[in-house]
Structure 1
């Protein structure tokens, strides 16, 4: 056995070398004396840069490595207590961070690949190896193992970051088979990684959207763009394990490697944000008391209908409704009852109107109804029906029962009307004619409707 003058010790020990002058500690695991002598002789020119320690069995190698720090192992596969690839796998499992160079008398490329796949960094064929080749193999094995360890640590750090990420992260191969699924993805989609990895990405997409999604991915994969961020992509829809669909924002990137494309997606559930946006939009466009469109929203819807009228010539009519003597209602019964009257009017109108009709509260006790695809005669029928239903409505209150009536003015949109404002002005003039003629009635605008109105 050839032993170093100063056997390697654990870092920090009395014999520890500095990073600059530390010798390469080589552990030779070889039970054949002749083969061991050849190895030691081949490495003799590098004695100032290395130490060689020989053991003759796998058990001795494991024991030595537990007591000492080695840089590389030269490993024979035919030992008294271990044989073949099992020798590599057992030593690699015991010291996974240590580079292994296998010494074998079997010169076969397939066997060499099995050696490398089992955990070794290189192999040398006995009888075909000189000193420079062996030293180069040792240095390459050390460098390769160092790179492998750096890669492993980098992957562990990346996996740690992915695992701690609040957004769902998944990867899929070119066939759109899932290859990675982090904890946030488990929480979002309801699958455990062990159940979903290896399965198609389409499981996470609603069935009616799968074809379009796959076409979009294929277009992205074939294009020059390497990534698309959430801010630049439209929202997509995800599907959970229990069948719930949810809106999501997705950032996606692609990576070309030896086995084809690899896609990485970062997915964020935006259900809560969409809910808040919807609520804010509702608050911005809805009258808080009645739940009807507010003035701004009614104007928007009306402009759309007028644009459609100007393009296609389809009839559009407008009703203006006003609760009769609303100020007296507030004064006599109180503002709470007045509010009930407004809410009841909204409820009756919603029940009587079509889904395609639009009603809005323009302010106070004044309401407007937009009737698409409706001419003057049909609009009058709608107005009379609303008036009758509201006149038959009783609102209980502390002072008895409130009998509410409304006056309604009608105007028809013309192709020369550029906005709803002109139409509402005509309907408003008809409304005040209805009030001046006794209230609780319907009037249609004509050129004589400009007579002075009475107070409501």
Structure 2
């Protein structure tokens, strides 16, 4: 408190002798303290409502109030007022309990000389100011935690939940009362719980005190209804007197993952047929070629296209041509295995990679595909139907191939021969010819 301004003190004391001792002690300090005296709590509260002061010296034995109830009533009416309790109890425990009830300091009656009283008053004012700053800071923090759109939760050293904000309630489907004191594992799928505990344990003993969302891998959350959802987490640690406190900011990224998957699908899928596009087909085929080299396992590629596709477009229109391409994709999905890789490489040209398949087996699969395409009647947009045939070339993937393009080039040679030999047929590029070339 600046020395240039008087400190207004309200003394609430019903004993004239005790009040006189306080008045005398303050007079010895000069004019820095302005004293007002009230003999009952009701009078004191009324005076404070009209005038206010800097600090209250409060007796706990008043005509209209006694004990800790006096502190309670004063605190309810003026929560920010610095309080110094005057007590006749020469009992340290009683005084400490009075401070725990909401006062900033205490003095024993009869031991209130000027310097002691001055110290208690100034200490009470300073401590209350600090308490108010802390209270406002905590209120701001609570407001941030409460209004945050991301879930915020904290766990203690035993991984028991001690903080669970409203966003976390919405995200996981639990009320705060349902989770406080319970293990964090309840919010993690059981199959992932052990790995998550190990990850958190590593974080506790590592140097950094926090990790941002950008530094973390994705984690899976478990809602109350059993629904699993992807989340992104930022985690921090703080050593408290009773152990480590871990706080996580959690963001549900379900919509973002859906959007990313849509973008990935658009980037890797042919929009007309739903098959892999050329880039995706080549990438998947390259991965399969690596397996062929590593394990010396067979794999075969097929290249095929629709015979006289331009004639379909010219005769029946591009809508009929699009329907023909979609039909080819549907037949491929029906006849081939889930492990087979099918892609539209461009126009009416398609590629197929058959893992774990030698050339004779690939030829059987190609013949089934050729016959299925030739037998089908494909509905046209104008109400009629059309038929089509396909020419297919086959080549084995060789361990010595530098890339999948070599195998595809051989299959393309075989496709050329299929067309030259009359179309609607299957041709094979023999391995020995490939080696010679």
Q: TM-score normalised by the shorter chain: which range applies?
A: over 0.9
Q: In the alignment, which of 148, 160, 175 is matched to residue 131 of structure 2?
A: 148
Tell me what 1:8 maps to. none
Q: Which residue of 1 aligns with 2:309?
A: 326
State which drifts further: 124-133 or 151-160.
124-133
Matches for 1:341-380 after TM superposition, within 5 Å = 341-380=324-363
Aligned-partner SS, 1:389: helix
Alignment of 1:376-415 (within 5 A): 376-397=359-380, 398=382, 400-415=384-399
Aligned twin of 2:39: 56
Match of 2:68 in 1: 85
Q: Which residue in the other structure is 2:420 paired with? A: 436
Q: Structure 1: how far apart are the matches of 2:297 and 2:192?
A: 35
Per-residue CA distance 1:193-234 (angstroms, 9 max, x = gap) = 454444433332223222222222222222221110011111
What is the rounded CA distance, in whole Å, between the counterparts of 1:217 and 1:299 in structure 2? 40
Q: Does 1:425 align with 2:425?
A: no
Consecutive unaligned residues of structure 2, counting only runs of 5 or more, are none
- Aligned equivalents of 1:211 and 1:139: distance in 2? 55
Give the match for residue 133 of structure 1: 116
Residue correspondence of structure 1 range 86-235 to structure 2 within 5 A: 86-235=69-218
Q: Which moved more, 1:261-270 or 1:414-423?
A: 261-270
SS in 2 for 1:293: coil
User: What are the ranges of 5 or more consecutive residues in structure 1 without an aligned counterpart?
Assistant: 1-17, 451-456
Q: In 1, distance between residues paired with 2:431 and 2:237?
A: 69
Q: Bigger shift: 203-212 or 374-383?
A: 203-212
Q: How many residues align?
A: 433
Tell me the TM-score normalized by structure 1: 0.90
Q: Deviations over 1:9-66 (max 9, x none)?
A: xxxxxxxxx9773311111111122222222222222241111222122212211211
Would the alpha carbon gap of residues 225 and 378 (structure 1) be closer, same or farther in structure 2, given more than 3 Å must change? Answer: same
SS in structure 2 at match of 1:88: helix
Structure 1 residues 408-436: Cα deviation after superposition (integer angstroms, max 9, x where no partner): 11100111101110100101111121222
In structure 1, the residue matched to 2:255 is 272
**Is the 1:306–1:418 Cα contact (8 Å) retained in structure 2?**
no
8 Å Cα contact 1:104-1:126 kept in structure 2:
yes
Q: Structure 2 CA distance, aligned partners of 1:437 and 1:245?
A: 56
**Between 38-47 and 136-145, the greater mean CA deviation after superposition:** 38-47
Residues 122-131 or 327-336, more deviating: 122-131
Matches of 1:223 and 1:45 in 2, distance apart? Answer: 59
CA distance, structure 2, for counterparts of residue 374 and residue 283 of structure 1: 30
Residues 394 and 403, structure 1, Cα contact 8 Å, conserved in 2: yes
Q: Do residues 302 (structure 1) and 285 (structure 2) align?
A: yes
CA distance in structure 1 between the partners assigned to 2:239 and 2:432 by the alignment? 77
Pairing partner for 2:273 from 271, 290, 293: 290
Q: Give yes or no for contact 2:3–2:32 (8 Å, CA) kept in 1.
A: no
Moved over 6 A (4+): 447-450
> For the residues of structure 1 that align with 2:379 and 2:272, how far apart are their CA atoms?
19
> CA offset at residue 316 of structure 1?
0.8
Does 288-297 or 382-391 show the bigger shift?
Answer: 382-391
State whether residues 348 and 386 of structure 1, in contact with CA within 8 Å, keep that contact through their aligned partners in structure 2.
yes
Deviations 1:239-294 (CA, angstroms, capped at 9, x unpaired): 22332222111111122232322222222221111111111111111111000001
Alignment of 1:236-275 (within 5 A): 236-275=219-258
Kept in 2: contact 1:362–1:368 (CA 8 A): yes
TM score, norm. by length of structure 2: 0.93
